[in-house]
A and B are shown apart, each in its own frame.
Chain A
Amino acid sequence: MFEEVGTTEEGDLIINVGPQHPSTHGVLHLIITLSGETIKKVEPHLGYIHRSIEKMCESLSYRQFIYVTSRMDYLSSHINNHGCALCVEKGLQIEIPPRAKVIRVLMDELTRLASHQLWWGAMAMDVGALTPFFHAFREREAINDIMEETCGARLTMNYIVPGGVMVDLHPHFQQRVKDFISLFKSKIDEYDELVTENVIFQSRMKGIGFLSKEDAISYGCTGPTARGSGLNCDIRKLYPYEVYSQLQFEEIIETAGDCFARYLVRLKEMRQSLFIVEQLIDNIPEGDFQAKTKAVLKLPKGEFYSRTETARGEFGVYIVSEGGATPYRIKFRSPGFSNLSALDHMTKGHKIGDLVAIMGTLDLVIPDIDR
């Protein structure tokens, strides 16, 4: 890869961005072709964190492979686990108790909130504002403390398992979440005041990185990236799972298609997640937290596909089973993979500073792409 760097015949410059770079959010290697300071082509090189997870899962049992998926998109680790558990439950055809369903949705929405907080802090840092980083992490620590009391870990918690959840909620859970809700409601208005209404931020975001709706469909974009271009693709609304069909929340769509639209989609999604947590926190039903399952799970012969909505988009788990105790083939359809393929299209004609802003709004997590 390094020998491509240099100058072409027309005088264009070819340079490297990454793999070790503060603003690529992981190890992403981009080779960009510049004419002056205007970008003509961006080529991503992947594989710097390819940990062969799909091959590894072929030798793990159905209870064991879930811990590995926490580490793929580590910012929405609960939702990844949830997707895998849903796929296994589809194969086993078991019904999980209502208390487990509500706990799963609560954990999902808190994780989505934490992921968007970190995205907001990191993106503001990329564009040049250093203070929002510390604000975002301060609130994120509150969610991490809640998770740690119940699940035992701060980042990669293997809490959602096939059949329900692993242990029951901590007795202080409800009170802590209510304290957090009242704390965060004022903070999110602060976020708007600090960054969204800032003139410099808006002039760096508006009109940059346009993605039309047809292109978003053709490139397979999902999540807030596609919703910023006007595409309805929220799996929680289209193919509801768990208790989402009984909840009231809006799917946020913006039609402008530029960086600022994608930014606004995520900011409003934070408010919607808070709203969902408010609706559920007082209505957790009593009962079991886990359905009775056998010790060794064996899926029948066939194939199963489950779709969930992570903070980045649609996460798909495709299991092909031959009837044994380990899966025959697992494929993880990650949202970042297709979002990244639209990067070249979005950055034609922009400058390098705009490339950083566009990558920030795509919200890429590279281990999710490389698996």
Chain B
Amino acid sequence: MSKEELKSNLEEIVISPEYEEGSEWTTVGFESRYWNSIALQLRHTEGLDLNYLFCLTCVDWKTHLTMVYHLTSTTHRHIVVLKSKLDRINPEIESVSGIWRTAEFHEREVYDLFGVKFLHHPDLRRLFMTEEWRGWPLRKDYEDPVNMIKL
């Protein structure tokens, strides 16, 4: 599917999409409260069939957090990147582990390192750090004078 067809398909699904120019793949920004319905439509729409989630991550811009999802289709071979801005004080977004099972571990990792809460996740616990660890290590304002030796 070409980029224009992809964009027109996405316009129907994503409410008020914001496109980012300059990257090699179609990048769309969406609002986090509509994520559940958007994800279901992306997965099941004929012609889009985005069934393979190959990267789920989060980036800390100092005023807000951004969730980034990289999706592709194993039948049509097009790639779509979806982004959503989250509030820094209380970041929350709907979990997609029911749609793409790989998100279970990826979302636990984002919760562990950034503190984003995923609603309706089957088992949201820390993944890499111990249960008693306090703080979200990969945020830009994380200070750890005991363990970290700065160069």
The answer to whether the Cβ of A232 comes within 8 Å of any Cβ in the partner chain is yes
- B99, closest chain A residue (CB): A218
Tell me the minimal C-beta distance from B65 to chain A in angstroms: 11
Q: Which of A47, A302, A338 contacts B105 (CB 8 A)?
A: A338
Known A-B contacts A46-B128, A52-B137, A218-B102; the reply to A302 vs B23 at CB < 8 A is yes
CA distance in complex: A218, B54 (Å): 10
* In contact, B54 and A220 (Cβ under 8 angstroms): yes
Chain B 118-131 per-residue mask, 1 if CB under 8 angstroms from chain A, else 0: 00000000111110
**Considering the complex, which residues of chain B in the window 90-105 have a beta carbon less than 8 Å from any beta carbon of chain A?**
100-102, 104-105
The segment from A17-25, A254-262, A329-337 that touches chain B is: A329-337
Tell me the minimal C-beta distance from A263 to chain B in angstroms: 23
Tell me the minimal C-beta distance from A316 to chain B in angstroms: 6
Which residues of B are found within 8 Å of A215, using beta-carbon distances? 101
Q: What does DSSP make chain B's interface, helix, strand, loop or mixed?
A: loop
Which residues of A are found within 8 Å of B13, using beta-carbon distances? none
* In contact, A219 and B128 (Cβ under 8 angstroms): no
Q: Which of A47, A231, A329, A333 contacts B54 (CB 8 A)?
A: A333
The answer to whether the Cβ of B16 comes within 8 Å of any Cβ in the partner chain is no
Q: Which of B23, B25, B51, B68 contacts A218 (CB 8 A)?
A: B51
Known A-B contacts A47-B129, A232-B74; the reply to A333 vs B105 at CB < 8 A is no
Known A-B contacts A55-B138, A305-B70, A314-B54; the reply to A46 vs B101 at CB < 8 A is no
CA distance in complex: A55, B53 (Å): 24
Which residues of B are found within 8 Å of A314, using beta-carbon distances? 54
The answer to whether the Cβ of B52 comes within 8 Å of any Cβ in the partner chain is yes
Which residues of A are found within 8 Å of B36, using beta-carbon distances? none
CA distance in complex: A224, B57 (Å): 24
Tell me the minimal C-beta distance from B138 to chain A in angstroms: 6
Which residues of A are found within 8 Å of B126, using beta-carbon distances? 47
**Considering the complex, which residues of chain A in the window 23-64 have a beta carbon less than 8 Å from any beta carbon of chain B?**
46-47, 50, 52, 54-55, 59
- B150, closest chain A residue (CB): A59
* In contact, B57 and A331 (Cβ under 8 angstroms): yes
**Considering the complex, which residues of chain B in the window 38-59 have a beta carbon less than 8 Å from any beta carbon of chain A?**
51-55, 57, 59
Which residues of A are found within 8 Å of B68, using beta-carbon distances? 318
**Considering the complex, which residues of chain A in the window 307-362 have a beta carbon less than 8 Å from any beta carbon of chain B?**
314, 316, 318, 320, 328-329, 331, 333, 337-338, 340-341
CA distance in complex: A72, B101 (Å): 24
The answer to whether the Cβ of B77 comes within 8 Å of any Cβ in the partner chain is yes
The answer to whether the Cβ of A217 comes within 8 Å of any Cβ in the partner chain is yes
Known A-B contacts A320-B59, A341-B102; the reply to A217 vs B52 at CB < 8 A is yes
CA distance in complex: A50, B138 (Å): 13
The answer to whether the Cβ of A168 comes within 8 Å of any Cβ in the partner chain is no
Q: Which of B22, B57, B106 contacts A302 (CB 8 A)?
A: B22
* In contact, A337 and B57 (Cβ under 8 angstroms): no
Which residues of B are found within 8 Å of A218, using beta-carbon distances? 51, 100-102
CA distance in complex: A290, B100 (Å): 41
Known A-B contacts A55-B137, A305-B70; the reply to A331 vs B55 at CB < 8 A is yes
* In contact, B128 and A50 (Cβ under 8 angstroms): yes
The answer to whether the Cβ of A139 comes within 8 Å of any Cβ in the partner chain is no
**Range class of the B interface residue count:** 20 to 34
The answer to whether the Cβ of A370 comes within 8 Å of any Cβ in the partner chain is yes
The answer to whether the Cβ of B146 comes within 8 Å of any Cβ in the partner chain is no
Which residues of B are found within 8 Å of A220, using beta-carbon distances? 52-54, 100-102
Tell me the minimal C-beta distance from A45 to chain B in angstroms: 9
Tell me the minimal C-beta distance from A118 to chain B in angstroms: 25
- B43, closest chain A residue (CB): A218
CA distance in complex: A337, B104 (Å): 11
The answer to whether the Cβ of B31 comes within 8 Å of any Cβ in the partner chain is no
Which residues of A are found within 8 Å of B53, using beta-carbon distances? 220
Chain B 5-47 per-residue mask, 1 if CB under 8 angstroms from chain A, else 0: 0000000000000000011110000000000000000000000
The answer to whether the Cβ of A303 comes within 8 Å of any Cβ in the partner chain is yes
CA distance in complex: A333, B72 (Å): 15
Which residues of B are found within 8 Å of A295, using beta-carbon distances? none
A and B contact pairs by CB, cutoff 8 A, 19 listed = A47-B126, A55-B138, A215-B101, A217-B51, A217-B74, A218-B101, A220-B100, A220-B102, A233-B74, A303-B23, A305-B24, A305-B70, A314-B54, A316-B70, A318-B55, A318-B57, A333-B54, A338-B105, A341-B105
7 other A-B residue contacts (CB within 8 Å) besides A337-B105, A341-B105: A50-B128, A55-B138, A231-B74, A233-B74, A238-B77, A305-B25, A329-B59
Chain A interfacial positions (CB closer than 8 Å to B): 46-47, 50, 52, 54-55, 59, 215, 217-220, 222, 231-233, 238, 302-303, 305, 314, 316, 318, 320, 328-329, 331, 333, 337-338, 340-341, 370
Q: Which 6 A-B pairs have the closest CB atoms?
A: A220-B102, A47-B128, A50-B128, A218-B101, A331-B57, A341-B105
